[in-house]
C-alpha cells in the first residue's frame, strides 16, 4: 500500500516540477490564495466521517448513508459560501482576479460532495489495491488536464481547471470502483457526531497549521511572495506528504484492530516510527542540504528565492514526520481530543510566530516559525503517547537516535561540498551526484552505528534481513539456472 501511495503522490510532485517551468510564482500564489479559502470552508464542515466509519467496528448501512448525506449538505454549504466570499476575499488580498477564480473553484467541493461513501470500505477492509486505483485515477486526471493547459495558456487557469477536474474524476471513479449506492438519511447522525466533533475541531486547527501562513503572507507580501513560500514549503515537506503520509494512512486500519491490546499497539507504533525515522528524516535532511542545486536544476532560476524557505522548512518537516503517526494512534484509541489539544497549542504558537517572523525576517522568518512551533509540541506529543501506550522515554528514543545521527553527518558533508561551489556540481548530473553521495554517507553511517550498537531490533535489522533474503534468493536462482 505504501508503494502504491508513493506512486500516486509522485504524480503530484512531477506535475509540480513541470508546472514550475511553465508558470510564474505569482500564478501559484494566486491559486494558493483561492485554495486557502476553499480549504477553510471545507474544513469548517469537515467532520471526518470516513475516519469515524473506519474506527467503528459495528458500522452499518445507516452510518454510511448518514455520512454521505451530511457530506452532501456540507459540500453544498461550502460552494455557496465560497461564491459569497469571493469579493470580500479579493479585497482582503487586494487581488481582483480572485473574484473570478474563487467561484470557479467552488464547483469542486459541490461536485465532490456526491462522492460515493462506499470507498471508505477500501481502507476499512484493507483493500489497498482499490484504494490505489481510486487515488491515482484522480491524480492522472489532474495531470492530463493541468499540464497541457499550462503549456497552452501559461496561466493560473490551468491550475484551477486541474483542481476541479480532479474532484469530478473522484466522483466518477468512486461509483465505478465500488458497488455501494448511498441514500439520503440522517438516521445515525448522533452515533457519528460524538466521534467526529473532535475531528472537526482538529481539522480547523490543522487548517490554521497548514494554510494559516497563506493568509498572512498573501496579505503582507502579495501573490509572488506567497507563490515562492508555497513552492519552497511544498518541496521541503515532500518526506511528510509523499512518504510519511502514505505510511500513516496505511497503518491506521491496522491500529484500530490492535487498539484493545496495548502491547500490540505499542509494538506496531514503535515499528512504524522506526521506519519513518529511518527514511523520512534522511529525505528531509537531504532536501535541506541540496536545496540550492535542487531549485536551480528542477525549478529554474525564477524560483531561487525559495531556497532559504526550503532549507528551513525541511527541518520542520523532519520534526513533523516523527510526530504525525501519533494522530493515527489517538484515533485508533478513540481519543481524537488528544490530538486536538496538541494542535491548539501548536497553532497558538505558530500564528503569532509567523506574523513576527514576516515582519522581522520576511519569508525566512515565516519559515523559522514552523520549526519553532513544531519543536515546542514534540515533547507533549510523545509524552501523551508514552502515557497511553505505557512506553518509556528510552522506547521512543531507541528507533530515532541512530537515523538522526546519520542525518547530521550527511548534512554537514553535503553542505561542505556544495558551499565550495565545485564546478562539477552543476546541472542534473551534479544534483544526482550530490544525492548519491548523501545516500552513501547516510547509509554507511547508520550501518556503522547500528553495528557498534550491537545490531538491535529495529528498522535497520528489518531492512538487513530483507536484503539478505533477497541476495540468498538471487544466489539460489543463479545456481539453479547454472
Q: Are 77 and 45 in contact (CB under 8 A)?
A: yes
Q: Tell me if 90 sits within 8 A of 152, measured CB to CB.
A: no
Q: If you average pLDDT over residues 415-429, what whole number do you get?
A: 75
For residues 321 and 464, what is the distance between their CA atoms, to the nearest angstrom? 23
- Report yes or no on whether pTM surpasses 0.85: no
pLDDT band at 444 (very low <50, low <70, confident <90, very high): very high
Q: Is 365's pLDDT higher than 70? A: yes
Q: In degrees, to the nearest 5, what angle opens at C-alpha 357 toward C-alphas 351 and 361?
A: 160
pLDDT by residue (tens digit) across 117-173? 877 767 666 666 677 777 777 778 788 888 999 999 889 999 999 889 888 888 888
Q: What's the mean pLDDT in 415-434?
A: 78
Cβ atoms of 290 and 438 within 8 Å: the answer is: yes
Of 2 and 344, more confident: 344
Instruction: Give dist(CA 460, CA 450) in Å, integer.
Output: 7
Dihedral over alpha carbons 257, 260, 264, 270 (to 10 degrees): 90
Residue 66 CA neighbour count, 13 Å, CB half: 19
Interval 382-387 mean pLDDT: 89
Any idea where the domains of the chain sit in the sequence?
1-192, 237-445
Helices (H) and strands (E) in the chain, counts: 22, 0
All three cell numbers of 231:
513552492
* Rounded mean pLDDT, 379-386: 90
pLDDT at 196 over 60: no
Give pLDDT tens digits for 321-351. 888 788 888 878 878 778 788 888 998 999 9
Least confident of 3-7, 191-195, 234-238, 381-385: 3-7
| Cell numbers for 400 | 530515532
- CA-CA distances (angstroms) from residue 102 to 84, 157, 171, 211? 10, 11, 21, 16
CA–CA distance, 200 with 49 (Å, rounded to integer): 10
Q: Bin 246: left if φ > 0, else alpha if -120 < ψ < 50, else beta.
A: alpha
What pLDDT does residue 406 have? 93
Euclidean distance between CA atoms 436 and 62, whole angstroms: 53
179: enclosing H helix or E strand: none
pLDDT higher than threshold 60 for residue 452 = yes
The pLDDT value given to residue 423: 61
Q: How many CB atoms are closer than 10 A to CB 11?
A: 16
CB atoms within 10 A of CB 300: 12
d(CA 302, CA 288): 19
pLDDT at 436 over 70: yes
Q: What is the dihedral of CA 162, 168, 81, 93, to 10 degrees?
A: 0
CA distance 367 to 221: 14
How far, rounded to the nearest angstrom, does the alpha carbon of residue 298 sit from its chain's CA centroid?
Answer: 21
Higher pLDDT, 311 or 126: 311
| CA dist., res. 208 & res. 197, Å (int) | 17
Q: How confident is the model at residue 479, as a pLDDT? A: 58
Q: What angle do CA 271, 272, 275 make, to 5 degrees?
A: 90
* Residues with Cβ within 8 Å of residue 368, at least 6 apart in sequence: 312, 353, 357, 361
pLDDT at 82: 92
Residues found in the chain: 482
Residue 481, pLDDT > 60, answer no
Cα angle, residue 238 at apex, residues 25 and 396 outer, rounded to 5°? 145
Per-residue pLDDT tens for 62-99?
A: 878 888 888 888 889 889 999 999 999 999 999 999 99
Q: Which of 85-94, 245-254, 406-415, 457-466 has the lowest mean pLDDT?
A: 245-254
Task: Output the average pLDDT for the chain.
Answer: 83
Mean pLDDT for 448-458 is 86
> Which one has a higher pLDDT value, 98 or 205?
98
Amino acid at each position: 500500500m505504501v508503494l502504491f501511495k508513493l506512486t500516486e503522490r509522485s504524480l503530484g510532485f512531477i506535475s509540480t516540477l513541470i508546472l514550475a517551468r511553465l508558470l510564474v510564482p505569482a500564478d501559484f500564489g494566486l491559486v494558493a490564495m483561492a485554495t486557502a479559502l476553499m480549504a477553510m470552508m471545507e474544513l469548517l464542515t469537515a467532520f471526518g466521517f470516513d475516519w469515524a466509519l473506519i474506527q467503528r467496528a459495528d458500522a452499518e448501512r445507516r452510518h454510511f448513508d448518514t455520512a454521505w448525506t451530511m457530506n452532501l449538505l456540507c459540500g453544498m454549504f461550502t460552494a455557496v459560501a465560497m461564491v459569497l466570499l469571493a469579493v470580500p476575499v479579493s479585497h482582503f488580498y487586494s487581488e481582483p482576479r480572485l473574484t473570478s477564480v474563487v467561484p470557479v473553484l467552488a464547483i469542486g467541493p459541490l461536485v465532490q460532495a456526491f462522492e460515493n461513501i462506499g470507498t471508505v470500505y477500501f481502507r476499512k477492509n484493507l483493500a489497498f489495491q482499490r484504494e490505489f486505483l481510486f487515488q491515482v485515477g484522480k491524480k492522472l486526471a489532474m495531470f492530463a488536464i493541468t499540464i497541457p493547459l499550462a503549456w497552452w495558456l501559461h496561466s493560473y487557469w490551468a491550475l484551477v481547471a486541474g483542481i476541479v477536474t480532479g474532484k469530478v474524476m473522484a466522483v466518477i471513479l468512486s461509483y465505478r470502483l465500488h458497488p455501494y449506492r448511498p441514500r439520503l438519511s440522517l438516521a445515525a447522525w448522533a452515533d457519528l457526531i460524538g466521534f467526529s466533533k473532535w475531528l472537526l475541531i482538529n481539522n480547523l486547527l490543522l487548517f490554521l497549521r497548514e494554510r494559516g501562513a497563506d493568509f498572512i503572507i498573501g496579505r503582507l507580501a502579495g501573490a509572488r511572495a506567497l507563490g515562492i513560500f508555497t513552492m519552497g514549503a511544498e518541496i521541503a515537506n515532500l518526506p511528510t506528504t509523499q512518504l510519511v503520509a502514505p505510511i500513516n494512512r496505511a497503518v491506521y486500519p491496522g491500529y484500530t484492530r490492535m487498539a484493545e491490546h496495548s502491547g500490540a499497539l505499542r509494538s506496531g507504533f514503535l515499528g512504524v516510527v522506526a521506519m519513518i525515522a529511518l527514511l523520512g528524516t534522511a529525505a528531509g535532511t537531504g532536501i535541506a542540504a541540496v536545496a540550492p542545486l535542487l531549485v536551480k536544476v528542477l525549478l529554474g532560476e525564477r524560483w531561487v528565492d525559495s531556497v532559504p524557505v526550503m532549507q528551513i522548512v525541511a527541518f520542520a518537516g523532519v520534526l513533523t514526520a516523527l510526530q504525525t503517526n501519533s494522530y493515527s494512534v489517538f484515533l485508533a484509541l478513540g481519543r481524537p481530543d488528544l490530538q486536538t489539544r496538541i494542535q491548539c497549542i501548536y497553532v497558538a504558537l505558530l500564528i503569532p510566530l509567523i506574523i513576527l517572523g514576516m515582519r522581522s525576517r520576511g519569508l525566512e522568518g515565516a519559515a523559522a516559525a514552523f520549526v519553532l512551533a513544531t519543536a515546542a509540541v514534540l515533547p507533549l506529543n510523545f509524552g501523551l503517547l508514552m502515557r497511553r501506550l505505557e512506553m518509556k522515554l528510552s522506547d521512543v528514543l531507541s528507533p530515532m537516535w541512530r537515523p538522526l545521527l546519520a542525518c547530521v553527518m550527511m548534512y554537514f558533508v553535503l553542505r561542505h561540498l556544495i558551499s565550495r561551489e565545485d564546478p562539477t556540481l552543476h546541472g542534473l548530473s551534479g544534483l544526482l551526484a550530490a544525492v548519491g553521495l548523501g545516500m552513501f554517507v547516510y547509509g554507511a553511517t547508520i550501518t556503522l552505528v547500528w553495528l557498534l550498537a550491537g545490531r538491535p531490533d529495529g528498522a535497520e535489522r528489518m531492512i538487513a534481513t530483507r536484503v539478505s533474503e533477497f541476495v540468498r534468493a538471487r544466489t539460489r536462482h543463479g545456481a539453479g539456472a547454472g
